């Protein structure tokens, strides 16, 4: 521990595991939270997105919780936890401002239990107002650390960990603990305007829902985020994939600083940087969903894939329409099946392999909510996990 550090219990006393349950029993995210007052815990809003229920857990005791105030712009959410023991972490009247190179302590759900580890401040970021807005730390984010606590070696709460706001080099970041005081005021307006989705299964616990945005005619909009999970079905490795609307220019919707560009009607213009496996790499030039697609329609594509130059020939058919449940909710979707071949150049030779893909497209939100692709070497599934406004 750093010199002058207080006891380990002081760092972990008010840190809890936070479990956000999705629409089905198997759909859950687990992260961390910090008690900051009687029956109040702060955590990262990204942990709660898409949650139907929230629980706070410590020492095998589970406490039911409910969203109290979301500040999605800063990714901080306050939850009410009846019967939570203790008075919570004391927020310093004078915010502790870290310095470059300063030794810090992270307290979060690290593995199966709340634990601590050392870290070092390697970067500080200021907001438009010139005040501290982010703390960059040594080391990469760990599973479960999202929503955890950052302390100085004197035991003062300095920041809240937000793993979805990692820097470009993959380091863990935290937002200032001083922001916790503002959550209720900043979240009041957002909570007052929050309406459950028309389909309750697709409700989002923190931020604006997908059906709200579409019903209001305001989607797409700058700050709109589509969060997916990409699963390699061979290795079971899961990867988060985020599409964020950064700009809208001349009927062009620009995601992830130009990595993906769509037209206002949702059709694809181009992909500059693939990030979602086969969904991006193997995408037809106009996307997987033809404009105005109807059940029973058939079509053919012949094109070269982005980057690899593989020649791809596919036949598509909209086979039917039904409800489909993904981690982000339940949607009415059109099932689009593709079969064909991919001619892949490898080490000067050319290999032909069968290609199959299925996309489930939800017209009400204008997005593919599930996508499956398979070849002899690849089998992947991409599913919508959350939709929010930042």
pLDDT at 303: 93
Both structure tokens of 176: 């200032």
pLDDT at 308: 63
Mean pLDDT of the chain: 83
Q: Which of 72, 384, 90, 42 is nearest to 242 (CA)?
A: 384
pLDDT at 208: 41
Q: Quote the CA–CA distance of 365 and 316 in Å, as a whole number.
A: 21
223, 389 contact by CB (below 8 A): yes
387, 204 contact by CB (below 8 A): yes
Residues of the chain with confidence (pLDDT) below 50: 1-5, 24-26, 165-168, 193-217
pLDDT at 164: 54
User: Per DSSP, what are the bridge partners of residue 315?
Assistant: 300, 339
- For 171-217, how does the pLDDT look when each residue is reduced to its tens digit (9 = 90+)? 888 999 999 999 888 876 555 544 333 333 333 334 444 334 443 44
Delimiting residues of CATH 2.40.10.120 domain(s) in the chain: 1-193
Delimiting residues of CATH 2.40.360 domain(s) in the chain: 200-389
- Architecture label for domain 1-193: Beta Barrel (2.40)
pLDDT at 198: 33
- For 45-81, how does the pLDDT look when each residue is reduced to its tens digit (9 = 90+)? 888 876 778 899 998 899 999 888 888 778 899 999 9
Write down the CATH number for the domain with range 200-389. Answer: 2.40.360
Global model pTM greater than 0.95:
no
Q: Which of 57, 16, 49, 48 is nearest to 34 (CA)?
A: 16
């Amino acid at each position: 521990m750093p010199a002058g550090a207080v006891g380990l219990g002081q760092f972990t006393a008010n840190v809890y595991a936070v479990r956000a349950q999705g629409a089905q029993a198997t759909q859950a995210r687990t992260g961390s939270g910090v008690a900051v007052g009687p029956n109040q815990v702060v955590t990262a809003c990204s942990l709660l997105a898409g949650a139907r229920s929230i629980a706070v857990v410590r020492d095998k005791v589970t406490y039911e919780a409910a969203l109290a105030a979301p500040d999605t712009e800063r990714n901080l959410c306050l939850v009410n936890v009846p019967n939570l023991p203790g008075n919570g972490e004391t927020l310093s009247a004078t915010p502790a401002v870290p310095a470059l190179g300063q030794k810090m302590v992270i307290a979060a759900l690290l593995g199966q239990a709340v634990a601590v580890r050392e870290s070092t401040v390697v970067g500080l970021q200021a907001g438009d107002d010139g005040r501290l807005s982010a703390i960059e730390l040594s080391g990469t984010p760990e599973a479960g650390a999202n929503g955890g606590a950052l302390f100085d070696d004197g035991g003062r709460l300095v920041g809240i960990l937000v793993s979805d706001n990692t820097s470009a080099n993959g380091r863990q970041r935290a937002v200032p603990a001083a922001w916790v005081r503002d959550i209720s005021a900043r979240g009041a307006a957002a909570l007052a305007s929050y309406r459950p989705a028309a389909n309750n299964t697709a409700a989002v616990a923190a931020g604006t829902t997908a059906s709200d945005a579409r019903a209001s005619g305001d989607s797409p909009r700058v700050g709109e985020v589509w969060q997916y999970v990409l699963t390699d079905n061979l290795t079971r490795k899961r990867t988060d994939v985020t599409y964020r609307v950064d700009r809208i220019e001349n009927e062009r919707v620009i995601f992830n600083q130009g990595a993906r560009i769509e037209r206002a009607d949702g059709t694809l213009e181009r992909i500059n940087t693939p990030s979602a496996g086969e969904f991006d790499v193997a995408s037809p030039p106009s996307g997987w969903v033809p404009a105005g697609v109807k059940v029973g329609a058939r079509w053919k594509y012949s094109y070269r894939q982005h980057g690899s130059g593989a020649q791809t020939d596919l036949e598509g058919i909209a086979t039917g329409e039904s409800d489909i449940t993904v981690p982000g909710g339940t949607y009415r979707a059109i099932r689009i099946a593709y079969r064909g071949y991919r001619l892949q150049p490898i080490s000067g030779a050319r290999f032909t392999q069968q290609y199959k893909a299925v996309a489930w497209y939800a017209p009400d939100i204008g997005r593919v909510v599930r996508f499956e692709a398979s070849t002899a070497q690849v089998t992947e599934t991409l599913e919508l996990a959350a939709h929010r406004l930042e």
